[in-house]
Structure 1
Amino acid sequence: MIGEISAIALAAILAITLHEAAHGYAALALGDDTAWRLGRVSLNPLRHVDPVGTLLLPGLLLVTQLATIGRVEAMFGWAKPVPVDFGRLHNPRWGMVLVAAAGPGINFALAFGFGMAAHVATGGAGLLPGPAMDWLLRFIALSMLYNVILACFNLLPIPPLDGGRILVGILPLPAARAVAGLERYGLLIVIGLVFVLPYLVPGFDPLRTLLREVALPVLEAVFWLSGHGGAQ
């Protein structure tokens, strides 16, 4: 139980921390040092922790699922968003696209990297005790899964998710303004889609659909690209 919790927690913390750090590094490279001045361009997970989204909600989901079904089937949470002043970027519109894309981009890169790391881990079988090797392989598998899910979820075209900001950056100005106007309601829209509507509308579960129709094929592609043939 402790091993499973530690593997889940470490995989999720790394995925979320590097996702947020990537936004900060991209913004700094493109001309905005807001996050840098606030200490948010950092690989320190504590700089990106949101008490509710990073600790309370994921912890509650983790404990509830382990206590009721003995395994973790779904996790949901968020980190403290990295502040970006898009007006300070060298090219505000395309800069917004690149800064937003940096988060999912690093998650896809991490998923591939962990896929490659699995070859090293399995090639070193015998160097670690059996339980330690089992934990390492479980951590690698969870890291691949969480990074793919985090990237795919954040690419949904709903501001303030990364996909919404990418959409704002590439749409013609009138449409971009309309989409950007949704940002103040974005978190409510996401919570409604993920938690509320599935309970109100039988058969309507956009999160499960996203996982099945988007994240799973992407994960299978990552497995194939990293030399594992396909997701099992």
Structure 2
Amino acid sequence: MESLISTLAIWALPVLLAITLHEAAHGYVARHFGDPTADLAGRITLNPLKHIDPVGTVLVPAGILALTSLVGAGGMLFGWAKPVPVDFGRLRKPKSDMFWVAAAGPFVNLLMAIAWAALFKLAVTLPYTDYTVPMMKMADAGMHINGILMLLNLLPIPPLDGGRIAVSLLPNRLAWQYARLEPFGFPILLVLLFTGVLGSILGPLLAMFRFVLALFFGH
């Protein structure tokens, strides 16, 4: 039980920041390009309570961590927040601006992964204290969850960010046809998850991403 509480304490802040700032970034960039929908809904905020999905932000990540901590088994840690409402029709240039709105979330996860990597380096460099190991573990968790969310959301499956990025880049006719896959995106993702295909795709990509971070910061 003590191990579970310790694991949840280490992962809580990185998971919460990774998921909520991802969503807030979508709303901020959408407002910048002319769509105030998220702003009017109060979703351009750092208040995590505005973004938390009880299942995706709390139960799913906590359940995976509990399995990992208690029985040494569990799937790849991931989660989600309440999607930020975006009316793409209100963007000044809907198709091209969609690229920036969709890319904002993964880009923020990249920035957070870099920030956590810098914190890990700082913890290693400073004189050892009682806070050194917890700081290193939290920084490691931050790199992991932000790497996962960045890579997962860049998969070209609508309605993931990668799917919307693909729609913004495709010629109009192909973009329209590709966008019609959006209602099937979540079921496709679930099939990939439970068949292990998702893990086999994201696992090597995450390992490469972590290697690049370690190389850059000299971990």
Query: Does the TM-score normalized on the shorter chain lie above 0.5?
Result: yes
Q: Is the 8 A contact 2:76 2:199 kept in 1?
A: no
1:88-107 correspondence to structure 2 within 5 Å: 88-107=90-109
Q: Deviations over 1:58-83 (max 9, x none)?
A: 222222332211x7662232111011
SS of corresponding position for 2:92: coil
1:134 Cα offset (Å): 0.9
Relative to the length of structure 2, the TM-score reads: 0.92
Distance in 2, Cα, partners of 1:99 & 1:88: 12
2:137 aligns to what? Answer: 138
1:202 aligns to what? Answer: none
Which amino acid in structure 1 is aligned with residue 111 of structure 2?
A: A
1:128-207 correspondence to structure 2 within 5 Å: 129-130=129-130, 132-195=131-194, 198=195, 205-207=196-198
- Structure 2's unaligned 5+ residue stretches are none
Distance in 1, Cα, partners of 2:103 & 2:91: 15
Q: Is the 8 A contact 2:78 2:149 kept in 1?
A: no
Relative to the length of structure 1, the TM-score reads: 0.87
Distance in 2, Cα, partners of 1:76 & 1:105: 17
> Which of 69, 75, 78 in structure 2 is aligned with 1:76?
78
Q: Is the 8 A contact 2:167 2:178 kept in 1?
A: yes
Which amino acid in structure 2 is aligned with residue 208 of structure 1?
A: G
Q: Is the 8 A contact 2:25 2:104 kept in 1?
A: yes
1:111 Cα offset (Å): 0.9
Which amino acid in structure 1 is aligned with residue 116 of structure 2?
A: F
Question: Residues 133 and 73 from structure 1, CA distance in 2 versus in 1: closer, same or farther, beyond 3 angstroms?
Answer: farther
SS of corresponding position for 2:77: coil
Larger deviation, residues 77-86 vs 206-215: 206-215
Q: Deviations over 1:152-209 (max 9, x none)?
A: 00000001100000000000111111111011121111111112xx1xxxxxx22222
Q: Is the 8 A contact 1:32 1:84 kept in 2?
A: yes
Which amino acid in structure 1 is aligned with residue 136 of structure 2?
A: L
In angstroms, what is the RMSD of aligned CA positions? 1.6
Moved >3 Å (runs of 4+): none
1:117 aligns to what? Answer: 119
Which amino acid in structure 2 is aligned with residue 14 of structure 1?
A: L
Paired residues in the alignment total 216
Which amino acid in structure 1 is aligned with residue 187 of structure 2?
A: L
